């Protein structure tokens, strides 16, 4: 039998996408050569979901909100005087800590967008505060494609000096200060061998402040204890390459040969289906037949997405990807 060279088929289907295929990919770090990643994630940043707050020592109904971003992580140089671990110079991570995994000591910078409310409405500043951090993480299994483990902020401390508004500004968090700050980190291996990092901490913090003479904060001082979530923010999302399983409608599909109505090619010639068969320029009705190899029992087509789909915020969002029909069964 001769092959049919041209046939136009319309497929109506449903794409099955599991939630696990949608992942945040905004903090990516390399494999350190042991099947896992070294922390902290150099080049990434944490943000406070809710602002840090200064309340105590201010008039009723007045607050100072501090929207924080923590970044620019570096390992200590010659020494980390506040680190409880004997880290070698220039290293951020070593076995140890309170969770039976690793300990991490490093420096970073906290950038606070400061906004006053109530009697301080209109007061707005950007503060840059150098921070020392010590984090303890639980055991993980290097080589696993997904590594999820407990983490805790053991020490988080910084101080602002020489500021015209805050003559005293000291911030602290972590278990070493009696301020519990538990968290969790997940490393997910990417197709290129790097790791995507998802991480958060539920920070209990304490801010001590005193306003400077002549400043809008003159005469105010106090110590506020509060909580906020510290997390690596989710920016863009992606869907990994992979298969989609399609199902045709219950009613027959129409497949119109180009030689039929609206076509611009020659009809199927005489004798194509065998000696004595007539030419054909009509319509063939097809319907799907369930694929035996499919994990979805009613699917009759498998279409493979060959490239990653990037879905940046805001949502809804869309992206075009290359596809290939892997398997199709029509009768």
322 is written with which tokens? 């290359």
Question: Is 307 a residue whose pLDDT tops 90?
Answer: no
- Tokens standing for residue 2: 């001769």
Residues 6 or more apart whose Cβ sits within 8 Å of residue 93: 38, 39, 87, 102, 103, 104
Residue 12 has pLDDT above 60, yes or no: no
> Would you call 112 exposed, middle or buried from its count of C-beta atoms within 10 A (0-12, 13-18, 19+)?
buried
Place of tokens 């707005």: 124
Contact yes or no for 152/176 (Cβ under 8 A): no
> What confidence score (pLDDT) does residue 26 get?
73
> Which of left, alpha, beta for 35 (phi over 0: left; psi -120 to 50: alpha)?
left
Tokens 């680190």 — which residue?
Answer: 83
Q: What confidence tier does 324 reach under pLDDT thresholds 50, 70, 90?
A: confident
DSSP code at position 39: S
pLDDT digits (tens, 9 = 90+) for 224-268: 999 999 999 765 566 778 887 777 665 444 444 555 555 555 677
Q: Which H or E run contains 200?
A: strand 195-211
Q: Would you say 268 and 257 are in contact if contact means Cβ atoms under 8 Å apart?
A: yes
pLDDT in tens, 283-304: 666 676 777 665 666 777 788 8
- Give the Cα separation of 4 and 151 in Å (integer): 62
What's the Cα-to-Cα distance from 176 to each of 98, 151, 204, 243, 291, rounded to whole Å?
11, 14, 12, 49, 60
Rounded to an integer, the average pLDDT of 149-178 is 97
How far apart CA 270 and CA 249 sit, in angstroms, is: 32
Distance CA 175, CA 163 (A): 28
CA 268 to chain centroid, in Å, comes to: 54
Highest-pLDDT range among 108-122, 186-200, 228-242: 108-122
Closest CA to 188 of 177, 196, 180: 196
- Residue 85 contacts by C-beta under 8 Å, 6 or more apart in sequence? 94, 96, 97, 103, 105, 134
Place of tokens 């406070």: 48
Query: Hey, where are the domains in the chain?
Result: 27-233, 241-331
pLDDT tens digits for 83-103?
A: 999 998 899 999 999 999 999
pTM of model > 0.85: no
44 with 197: CB under 8 angstroms?
yes
The pLDDT value recorded for residue 270 is: 84
What CA–CA distance (Å, rounded) separates 43 from 41?
A: 6
List, as one string, the DSSP characters of 128-162: EEEEEEEEEE----TT-SEEEEEEEEEEEEEEE-S
Residue 205 half-sphere exposure, CB side, CA atoms within 13 Å? Answer: 25
């Amino acid at each position: 039998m001769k092959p049919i060279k041209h046939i136009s088929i319309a497929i109506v289907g449903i794409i099955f996408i599991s939630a696990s295929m949608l992942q945040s990919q905004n903090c990516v770090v390399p494999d350190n050569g042991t099947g896992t990643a070294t922390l902290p994630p150099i080049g990434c940043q944490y943000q406070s979901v809710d602002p840090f707050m200064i309340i105590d020592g201010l008039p009723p109904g007045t607050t100072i909100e501090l929207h924080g971003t923590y970044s620019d992580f570096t390992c200590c140089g010659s020494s980390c005087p506040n680190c409880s671990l004997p880290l070698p110079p220039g290293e951020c991570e070593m076995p140890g800590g309170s969770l039976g995994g690793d300990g991490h000591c490093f420096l970073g910078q906290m950038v606070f967008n400061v906004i006053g409310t109530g009697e301080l409405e209109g007061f707005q500043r950007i503060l840059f505060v150098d921070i020392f951090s010590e984090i303890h993480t639980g055991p993980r299994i290097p080589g696993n494609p997904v590594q999820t483990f407990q983490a805790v902020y053991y020490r988080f401390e910084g101080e602002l000096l020489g500021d015209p508004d805050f003559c005293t500004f000291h911030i602290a968090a972590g278990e070493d200060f009696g301020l519990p700050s538990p968290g969790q980190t997940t490393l997910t291996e990417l197709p290129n061998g790097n790791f995507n990092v998802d991480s958060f901490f539920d920070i209990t913090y304490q801010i001590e402040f005193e306003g400077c003479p002549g400043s809008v904060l003159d005469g105010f001082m106090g110590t506020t204890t509060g909580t906020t979530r510290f997390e690596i923010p989710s920016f863009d999302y992606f869907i990994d390459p992979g298969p989609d399983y399609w199902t045709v409608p219950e009613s027959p599909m129409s497949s119109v040969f180009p030689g039929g109505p609206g076509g611009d090619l020659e009809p199927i010639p005489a004798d194509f289906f065998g000696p004595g068969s007539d030419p054909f320029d009509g319509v063939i009705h097809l319907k799907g037949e369930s694929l035996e190899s499919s994990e979805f029992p009613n699917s009759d087509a498998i279409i493979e997405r060959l490239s990653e789909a990037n879905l940046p915020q805001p949502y809804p969002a869309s992206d075009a990807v290359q596809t290939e029909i892997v398997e199709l069964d029509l009768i």
